[in-house]
A and B are shown apart, each in its own frame.
Chain A
């Protein structure tokens, strides 16, 4: 769908490039995650790809055609979900959606979407009276109201309760399963783990790693099993290598003779990989 090659970009007032030669492909029908700490160029990359920023160097092809050659018709094909709510606060949810919907040739069944996201009942309420979570859900409806071929989402579940975050994630997966392409920017590694077919980690305007979450875990993971057991009054822990577990006598002896409290496989999480690759303590 997209072929991004050696793209660099410098903001006019900056001395250094914000984007320093990134290359990646986004395939049709995949959810591609763009990850990285704040300020590494994720949003800038997304803004370039949604044509909010011009003046980049390098080449971006969309459907095998230079992105620069697309005019406003490009927006008939894409949907953009911003991180911050972007609605007219004194119009109702329905008026907001209907206004934007009429600008597109392709129009989705937004009533059904609003119903699924639990905001249909309040569709006649002014958006200014909405909670943050309701605005985020309305943002999502706004992004997909033209049945886009490509969906750009920036933190689509931030500020949502787990139940509504689950509904949005399910809707994103359904969209992908129907052939839609998603470029997702998020800090929430659970979302990435659940949704993304491939992820690119951005560090200082570059992309050092692109892979599937599973491959990343295999490459960077330490496959261990941690067993917690009691010994007298004390609680002890022992860690075993998962690969050689079936031949490990010490492990079998332990589970036969001790009172086991917990036993967990210790696969590396995307959080660990994020920190390892980007060198940033995400929650520090």
Chain B
């Protein structure tokens, strides 16, 4: 069996055993609770918003949690002396993170279609979730590389959320209305992520869709290259440098 499949199966098994997948499902259930408490019958506007919060933050967190578990148990050290390439290792973690985001999407979509009114293209939403989750899993790697421990990762993640996610969210729900800020936000990856997720509801200009796709797509490729290059330094640090 090729190493990438062995890694994928191993990673999935560990997500289940370490209750990381369970935590992800619990978060999905919390989102269902939020939708349940919402009295609006048509949740087409809120749905991408919840998926946005979940996909961006959970993707970062999941990568960090799995790596810190491996660091803590020393298993990362033994992984580093196997024939696994860093490409396979990083790709596996990203794929598993994407799978977890998709599971959350499916759970929420199932609830929303059966119990509420939801008018969006599922396949477009699925594609958007995959791209946004992939991008943010890579952000998760970078934040993990720069974190000493899990607490430090949480602080770094909070910085990312405060600088990028919260302003995007507040502008999107019109709590902040500021022309310049709205324009500046196009620099933020979270803006591209938000636009991409809303594209499934068909409320996007073509140029916005192209911008969001290019940002998340090309951004993921560039980030993956950076993450790949910096992995050696991270691995050396794990070896006591």
Contact = CB atoms under 8 A, between A and B. Distances in A.
B82 A103 contact: yes
A50 B81 contact: yes
A80 B78 contact: yes
A12 B74 contact: no
A54 B239 CA distance: 11
A142 B82 CA distance: 11
Nearest to A103: B82
A80 to B, nearest CB: 5
A16 interface: no
A25 B73 CA distance: 33
A90 interface: yes
A167 interface: no
A277 interface: no
A78 interface: yes
Interface stretch (B12-20, B29-37, B117-125, B130-138): B12-20
Given A73-B83, A90-B17, A53 B77 contact: no
A47 interface: yes
A75 B81 contact: yes
Contact of A90 (B18, B81, B241): B18
Interface residues of B, number: 25
A54 B78 contact: no
B232 interface: yes
B236 interface: yes
B236 A86 contact: no
Contact of B84 (A44, A72, A82, A91): A72
Contacts of A80: 78, 81
Q: Sort chain A's interface into a size bin.
A: 20 to 34
Contacts of B232: 54
Contacts of A95: 13
Contacts, number: 73
Contacts of A100: 78, 82
B6 A75 contact: no
Interface string A143-178: 000000000000000000000000000000000000
B80 interface: yes
B127 interface: no
A75 B235 CA distance: 16
Given A72-B84, A91-B17, A47 B239 contact: yes
A72 B74 contact: no
Nearest to A104: B83
Nearest to B70: A88
Contacts of A142: 78
Given A52-B235, A72-B85, A82 B17 contact: no
Contacts of B6: 99, 102-103
B161 to A, nearest CB: 29
Interface in A127-155: 142
A76 B232 CA distance: 19
A11 B237 CA distance: 10
Interface in A7-48: 11-13, 43-44, 47
B14 A90 contact: yes
B110 to A, nearest CB: 29
Interface of B: 1, 3, 6, 10, 13-14, 17-18, 73-75, 77-78, 80-85, 232, 235-236, 239-241
30 contacts: A11-B240, A11-B241, A13-B241, A47-B239, A50-B81, A52-B77, A52-B80, A52-B236, A52-B239, A53-B236, A53-B239, A73-B83, A75-B81, A75-B82, A80-B78, A82-B74, A82-B78, A86-B73, A86-B74, A86-B77, A87-B75, A90-B17, A95-B13, A99-B6, A99-B10, A99-B13, A100-B78, A100-B82, A103-B3, A103-B6
Interface of A: 11-13, 43-44, 47, 50-54, 72-73, 75-76, 78, 80, 82, 84-91, 95, 99-100, 102-104, 142
Given A72-B83, A85-B74, 20 more contacts: A13-B241, A43-B240, A52-B77, A53-B241, A54-B236, A75-B82, A75-B83, A86-B74, A86-B75, A86-B77, A87-B73, A87-B74, A88-B14, A88-B73, A88-B75, A89-B73, A91-B17, A102-B6, A103-B6, A104-B83
